[in-house]
A and B are shown apart, each in its own frame.
Chain A
Amino acid sequence: MIYLDYSATTPISLEVLDTMNRTYKEYIGNPNSINALGIKSNELLHSAIKQIADLFNILENEITFTSSSTESNNLAIIGTALKYYKKGKHIIVSRLEHPSIYSICDYLKTIGFEIDYVNNDKEGLIDFEHLRTLIRKDTILVSICAVNSETGVRQPLKMIRQIIKKVNAFTIFHSDMTQAIGKTTISLHDVDLASISSHKIYGPKGIAMLYKASDIKLTPLIYGSGSSNELKPGTPALPLIVGFSKALRLANEDLEKKEKYISLLNDRICTRLKKYYNIKINKTRYSIPHILNISVMDVMPETLMHALDKEGVYVSTNTACSSGEISKAILAIYGDQKRAKHTIRISLSSMTTTGEVTQFLEIFDKCYASLKVLVK
């Protein structure tokens, strides 16, 4: 098996799994209980939270756990909308967001919010001038992902923040960092709100977090009791949180070294695929190496994907969350309908070996050759 779909989800790290196993077995108390077992669980919970806070240099109470980045995005955007609708009902997002962001915006439109989409340039970078003109007095939120999930284009969040705050100091800046964390260095202090997921960094599935700077208020979407965090009432998912915390720590070790290695793998694949006239490589100078997007213009991407599947090679078309649709991000960057319809995403990890890359290229050649013949 050659797994090249790490940006869809990652296999869990065995170390993390071991931690979770032990937590499930040894920390049975509810962290909200005040008996001795509860206290023991509570201490572990707080150590896990503190480890995350220290990693990002933020405060412990700036972390809210959710079930997924999609939930984090909901809490960030709808929570802001409900809290600040009296100040304004205008929200700006980019054209390079995860589909969940667009679904949330579509919902908000039905209850009277106005959504604007900021353009990007040919390299995938946010058009700063356009952003500046879009921000108004009643703009309560701007949401721009740190790394686009299809092309890997990374946005300069710090600069974007400066632009936003200069035009309207009250506009909140949210970033979906799901594809950035554990891949490239990120500062949470560049944003007010950030969505971060565990299953993209070799952690357990079913857990994610929202970073919320302490000066920002959100209206909760869920109501209940028993937690010190009003945004996420209920019993904390201790084993998942502990696993997530460990996965974050491991993912942030040797980040630059890993990035360099993956860059080499990425270059190798690109060099090889460039020889095909009908394959376009959707990579700009702002793409991180972990995500490699190509458009195979003369073959349907699903067909190619299935052919690769049969050979034990796993890649995706578009992103896992919107398969079958035209790629919004590729369309936004290249303005080419066909190119956007024919995308395949190859995502790499520091666990990917050079041997796997060689094998992948061979299998790819074989599958592509056999399908190309049919088209002609």
Chain B
Amino acid sequence: MKRVVIIKYGELSTKSDNINFFLKTLKNNVDKKLEGFNYEIKYDHGRMLIFTEDVLQVKNKLQEVFGIHEICDGYLYEERSLESIKTNVLNIIKDLEFNTFKITVKRSDKNYMGTSITIATDIGAYVLKNIPNIKVDVTSPDINVIVEIRLNEVLIYAKGIPGLGGYPVSTLGKGLLMLSGGIDSPVAGYLAIKRGVKIEAVYFDSPPHTSPMALKKVEDLARVLAKYNGGEVKIHVVCFTKIQEEIIKNIPKNYLITMMRRMMYRISALICGSINAHAIINGESIGQVASQTLKSMQVINEAVKMPVLRPLCTYDKLEIIELSKKIGTYDISIRPYEDCCTIFVPEHPVINPDVNLAHEYETLVDFDSLVYEAIKGRTILHIKDHKENNFSDLL
């Protein structure tokens, strides 16, 4: 008997022309995730089989991979007689908790005696005889035991755990996430990754107004996202101090945030160009703050000519918090270090900014060269999903 982990695909099974590309990418992502384990992968258009002895750990790891609908615990037997199938099915399910069950038989070996239905009935009767107080339910059973009779072997699996769903990361292009250190942006990044978008991140650093701990916090957030993003997130750290100070010195206070955000968008769009990303992603949610009214979004968005994805735009704050707890970014996000958006917040920022006024203010400072300078001086951090131990000589 061999242990197998079975991956059932999510939405990608609907892709017909490029399904091979999706599956190959999924396999690559799974390979990356299972680095260090002993395993072997076989896959077809129906599902992926991972042969391994480390079933529990492999299943845990697979729960961090997008493009997987369900992860099942399977057993592969060489013995194909009906008697052995019956005892094996019983052995597998006797310790599971359930009241109702169903047996589904699939025969890729059509020469195997009987029909799939008669075999299923046979196995079902045997199970009923040997486990007290259970019933058959073919419409919505607690567990559905699947018995696949193949040419040289029989694969049996029952209960699965849900996968993350979505598309395999990297199947749908690249996006640049504006990562601030707050609660929202990492969640927005997560949702973009979920739809197969590989992300890089941009962080606007504003020393000495922001603390190095704020950058560290962003690194830790990126590390969580890296788990889902194929093992790494690149952060483009842009020094925003000069732009911010010029805005504060030269532009009316109520337009401070509007102008800052416009500059951030401009910088992000230029970075997108240099890394071949097709969209900016951020954590804006309609109405959450002054810069996130629809009017504000329109005026700020006008600074760039590329799609800005706002996966959270219709989410309530509580929904965002719930999701951030689930993915493990919440505890990092609430560390008390301010980012450049939360310092220098004017008391009454404009909620209905005027785009013409914004254009006019932009002539007050030589933003073009400041933006150019900021992009040129950016540093790129490669954040891996596991922290590299910088203290190996000590520890």
Contacts and interface: CB of A to CB of B under 8 A. Distances in A.
B394 A22 contact: yes
Contacts, number: 33
B128 interface: no
A44 B394 CA distance: 9
A246 B394 contact: yes
B377 interface: no
B213 interface: yes
A249 B391 CA distance: 14
A245 B395 CA distance: 7
A245 B389 CA distance: 13
A246 B395 contact: yes
Interface in A38-86: 39, 43-44, 47-48, 50-51
B305 interface: no
B129 interface: no
A47 B389 CA distance: 7
Interface residues of A, number: 16
B387 interface: yes
Given A34-B213, A39-B212, A39-B213, A19 B394 contact: yes
Nearest to A57: B57
Contact of A47 (B211, B212, B216, B387): B387
Contacts of A51: 389, 395
B385 to A, nearest CB: 13
B213 A44 contact: no
A48 B216 contact: no
B390 interface: yes
A36 interface: yes
B211 A242 contact: no
A106 to B, nearest CB: 39
Interface string A240-279: 0010011001000000000000000000000000000000
Interface of A: 19, 22-23, 34, 36, 39, 43-44, 47-48, 50-51, 242, 245-246, 249
Interface of B: 211-213, 216, 337, 387, 389-391, 394-395
Given A19-B395, A39-B213, 15 more contacts: A19-B394, A22-B394, A23-B394, A34-B211, A34-B213, A34-B337, A39-B216, A47-B387, A47-B389, A47-B391, A47-B395, A51-B389, A51-B395, A242-B395, A246-B395
15 contacts: A19-B395, A23-B394, A34-B211, A34-B213, A36-B212, A39-B213, A43-B391, A48-B391, A48-B395, A50-B389, A51-B389, A51-B395, A242-B391, A245-B395, A246-B394
